[in-house]
Chain A
Amino acid sequence: MAKTILAVDDSGSLRQMVAFSLTAAGYQVVQAVDGVDGLNKAKGQTVDLVLTDQNMPNMDGLTLIKNLRGLGTYQKVPILMLTTESSDEMKAKGKAAGANGWLVKPFDPKRLIDVVQKVIGQ
């Protein structure tokens, strides 16, 4: 069965790009427009990987990750942050929130797929 990825980003075009690329690579992608939406969608189902933007309205990526980690079913699900900030500070915050890794924007689809495959396999 195809693995499901939850992609959270407030930017429609990036979300579309992520969804398209990952779908083309054989994953199933659930999209969410912000942290709140992401959290709701995450509660409704279990996914194999969460990709989230950091800077979003309503609920940012870090808060989303913290909330997800608070859910019983998401304690062990890999979460990657897609961020334009690659400072050590951001990484530390991400780690503290419970992220498993990060991917710096901009990235191209190929790179994204590589990374996702590295984390959850084909």
Chain B
Amino acid sequence: MTNKSLDCKQLNCPMPIVKISQAMKEMSAGETLEVEATDAAFQADLTAWVKQMGHELVEFSSGPIQRAIIKKGQATKK
């Protein structure tokens, strides 16, 4: 089970990343966030974002609706 879930379906660039970053701000390290999205660039954007911010992409499944689980990193870049 994840700590929080976020619906980013139908949202396009840059909104999924914007929403995720806002949601992440309210979470503490080690907590997980589940995201559903339909944006075509979602996987590429999310992978880059997670790497930049020091979080971890625990799970990713593609398909018409992409599903990702992100774990908030310990030493996240503020």
Indicate whether A and B interact: no
